[in-house]
């Protein structure tokens, strides 16, 4: 399925945001069985890339990744090994640190398995961005002999900030006033932003959840469940066609 989020910005606010070089940061959510992960900057728009009305669009195209880089705030996962993957598939790391071709996995999930006995990795999912690039959007520890189970979901976090953080970088805490938008079961949503008042949804969907600077992004974007609970939830999502 293809998705689209329309962002309308107050005219005066747009003038001030661009004058002071604010960037729009976008993050995506997941349901996971590993509580030690962190979100990564998925998309970033500088002042020339957003306007009074802007659209963020994406599709359900994923790749799994592994890296020997460790998770730490603002670390950019630039050295990664990737493999295209779909929901219902599992990918494994071989003893040489390669990702094997995906095999059948748990329905509705993406599974990443560390088949080594002596090497720990970081793993996660990349999702296609507006330029058709596969960009890492989440990262989790993948210890030797363990497996992470992930359901990527259509939950976004948005905020404006002046700092420069590369896409694919860990971001533990928000540096701007933002909003969580849920597109589960929908393919289009609309949101409005005004300096001072902040963000609000302007459609008939579930109201967005606002957050303040300093908010813990992982708690906003990740739903942590046991593997058994994720399997059950995946079955429910398939039955509901979401």
**Domain count of the fold of the chain:** 1
Residue 78 scores a pLDDT above 90? no
- Say what the pTM is: 0.96
pLDDT at residue 1, as a whole number: 83
CA end-to-end distance (rounded Å), the chain: 10
- pLDDT at residue 22, as a whole number: 98
Mean predicted confidence (pLDDT) in 200-206: 94
Note the pLDDT tens digit of each residue in 42-66: 999 999 999 999 999 999 999 999 9
For residue 60, the model assigns a pLDDT of 92
pLDDT digits (tens, 9 = 90+) for 96-153: 999 999 999 999 999 999 999 999 999 999 999 888 899 999 999 999 999 999 999 9
pLDDT digits over 1-52, tens only?
899 999 999 999 999 999 999 999 999 999 999 999 999 999 999 999 999 9
Instruction: Assess whether pLDDT exceeds 90 at residue 170.
Output: yes
Q: Residue 240 pLDDT more than 90?
A: no
CA 82, CA 122: separation in Å to the nearest integer?
Answer: 12
Q: CA nearest 140: which of 63, 64, 230, 54?
A: 64
Residue 173 has what pLDDT?
A: 98
What does the pLDDT read at residue 77? 96
39: domain range? Answer: 2-240
Give the CA dihedral 43, 45, 51, 54, nearest 10 degrees: -10
Rounded to the nearest 10 degrees, how much is the dihedral formed by the CA atoms of 222, 196, 54, 48? -110
Confidence bin at 79 (pLDDT 50/70/90): confident
The average pLDDT across 196-223 equals 97
Query: Distance between CA 240 and CA 21 in Å, rounded?
Result: 42
Report residue 241's pLDDT band, with 50, 70 and 90 as the boundaries: confident
Hunting for tokens 């990443």 — which residue is that?
112
């Amino acid at each position: 399925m293809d998705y689209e989020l329309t962002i309308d910005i107050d005219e005066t606010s747009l003038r001030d945001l661009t004058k002071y070089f604010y960037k729009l940061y976008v993050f995506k959510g997941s349901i996971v069985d590993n509580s030690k992960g962190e979100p990564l900057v998925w998309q970033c728009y500088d002042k020339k890339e957003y306007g009074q009305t802007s659209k963020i669009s994406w599709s359900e195209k994923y790749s799994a990744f592994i890296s020997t880089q460790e998770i730490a705030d603002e670390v950019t996962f630039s050295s990664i090994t990737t493999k295209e993957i779909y929901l219902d598939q599992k990918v494994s790391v071989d003893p040489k640190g390669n990702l094997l071709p995906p095999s059948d996995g748990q329905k509705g999930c993406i599974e990443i398995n560390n088949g080594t006995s002596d090497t720990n990795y970081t793993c996660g999912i990349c999702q296609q961005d507006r330029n058709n690039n596969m960009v890492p959007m989440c990262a989790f520890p993948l210890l030797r002999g363990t497996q992470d189970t992930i359901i990527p979901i259509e939950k976004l976090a948005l905020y404006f900030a002046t700092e420069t953080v590369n896409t694919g970088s860990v971001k533990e805490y928000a540096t701007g006033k933002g909003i969580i938008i849920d597109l589960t079961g929908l393919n289009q949503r609309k949101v409005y932003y005004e300096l001072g008042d902040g963000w609000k949804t302007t459609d008939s969907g579930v109201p967005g959840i606002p957050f303040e600077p300093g908010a813990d992004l992982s708690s906003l974007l990740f739903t942590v469940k046991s593997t058994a609970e994720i399997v059950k939830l995946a079955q429910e999502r398939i039955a509901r066609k979401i």
